[in-house]
């Protein structure tokens, strides 16, 4: 069953000349041959991980909220074994966050709380996408979060990128594109995977052609090639984010989700994704190695099936480890862990249960955003 919700610096990057507004850290960018940025892959060294501690009752059901907050604390504590974690938390939730974190073993690295008001926990989609320029200066892209096409309250979440960047004196990189961090997957060598259903959607980018989107993302993320999956519209709030379907584990190697449940709409979607990626080629015209991550059959029914995101592809890569989910389906959990152990031989695989967050249609990846190191 499935449902949802190196650093290799580009030698072709040319010199850049950008004017900073003297009164802010905001930068307005323009797509020209003289200005290029580069996004390192998730597996590269992090400065920290960003998360939020929130489960508001105008978004989450009452029975979900306690478990969601426990799950967030567990994710933060697990990641903090390997790198610092910074958490956004409202004034009303701050004491609860401190208490839940105190119940868990003290990790090696610090967990720091930043007080601000937020709507929801999905920082993959609301936090800045961090990139470097040719001088190795870090920027945060603001992709104009609009609640996944105006599907959810997002007044507070639309300010998350600005808050994080200003708090850390990181310049903001502006674009007219509307999308979310979960809607693109990059390999760090110039290739990205996206879904048409999410990015080329009138609820986000009605006046953009596919070519225009590609040009803008190549410029912002340092890309040379984009592989498009069709995805599926309207079945979940994200309109089929790619981070629920396909992820690079290294250049030339991709893990792909497969839904074995023939009664699920995602059965056909995932089959189609596999076929597209089998035909795709890298920058050297070589086929990708595909590793299939089959979804669990058994899940925790406590919160119902409607939005439960039962898939292993929502893992998060941090410094020295991969944090992935388990679902209580012992055979599927074991197979998925083995697949990621083979894909990440130099990292420890940590498997945790976060069924509360999964019940809201998300994953560990959805709840986290990496900030690469300062160069």
Beta pairing partners, 370: 49
CA–CA distance, 97 with 87 (Å, rounded to integer) = 9
Cβ-contact 181, 198 below 8 angstroms: no
Nearest one of 142, 189, 144, 170 to 48, comparing CA atoms: 170
Strand order in 253-258's β-sheet? Answer: 246-250, 253-258, 289-294
What is the DSSP annotation of 167-201? HTT-PEEE-S----GGGEEE-SSSEEEEEHHHHT-
Cβ-contact 111, 85 below 8 angstroms: yes
Cβ-contact 38, 9 below 8 angstroms: yes
CA–CA distance, 55 with 117 (Å, rounded to integer) = 12
CA–CA distance, 295 with 259 (Å, rounded to integer) = 6
Indicate which residues carry an active-site annotation: 366
Burial 17-37 (b: 16+ CB within 10 A, else e): eeeeeeeebebebeeeeebbb
Burial 352-372 (b: 16+ CB within 10 A, else e): ebbbbbbbbbbbbbbbbbbbb
């Amino acid at each position: 069953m499935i449902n949802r919700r190196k650093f290799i610096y580009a030698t072709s990057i040319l010199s850049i000349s950008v004017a900073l507004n003297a009164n802010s850290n905001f930068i307005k960018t323009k797509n020209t041959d003289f200005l290029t940025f580069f996004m390192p892959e998730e597996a590269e060294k992090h400065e920290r991980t960003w998360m939020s501690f929130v489960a508001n009752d105008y978004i989450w059901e009452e029975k979900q909220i306690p478990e969601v907050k426990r799950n967030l604390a567990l994710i933060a504590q697990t990641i903090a074994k390997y790198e610092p974690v910074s958490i956004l938390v409202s004034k009303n939730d701050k004491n609860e966050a401190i208490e839940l974190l105190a119940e868990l073993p003290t990790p090696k690295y610090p967990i720091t709380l930043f007080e601000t008001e937020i709507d929801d926990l999905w920082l993959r989609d609301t936090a800045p996408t961090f990139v470097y320029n040719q001088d190795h200066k870090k920027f945060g892209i603001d992709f104009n979060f609009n609640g996944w096409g105006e599907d959810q309250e997002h007044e507070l979440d639309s300010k998350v990128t600005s808050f994080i960047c200003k708090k850390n004196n990181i310049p903001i990189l502006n674009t007219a594109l509307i999308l979310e961090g979960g809607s693109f997957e990059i390999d760090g060598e110039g290739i990205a995977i996206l879904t048409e259903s999410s990015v080329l959607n009138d609820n986000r980018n009605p006046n953009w052609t596919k070519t225009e989107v590609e040009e803008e993302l190549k410029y912002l993320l340092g890309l040379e090639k984009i592989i498009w999956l069709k995805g599926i519209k309207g079945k979940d709030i994200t309109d089929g984010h790619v981070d629920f379907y396909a992820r690079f584990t290294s250049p030339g190697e991709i893990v792909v989700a497969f839904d074995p449940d023939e009664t699920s709409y995602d059965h056909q979607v995932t089959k189609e994704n596999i076929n597209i990626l089998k035909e795709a080629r890298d920058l050297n015209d070589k086929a990708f190695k595909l590793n299939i991550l089959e979804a669990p059959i058994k899940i925790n029914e406590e919160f119902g099936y409607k939005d439960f995101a039962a898939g292993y592809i929502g893992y998060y890569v941090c410094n020295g480890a991969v944090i992935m989910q388990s679902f209580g389906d012992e055979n599927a959990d074991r197979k998925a862990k083995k697949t990621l152990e083979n894909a990440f031989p130099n990292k420890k695989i940590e498997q945790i249960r976060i069924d509360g967050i999964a019940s809201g249609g998300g994953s560990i990846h959805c709840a986290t955003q990496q900030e690469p190191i300062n160069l």
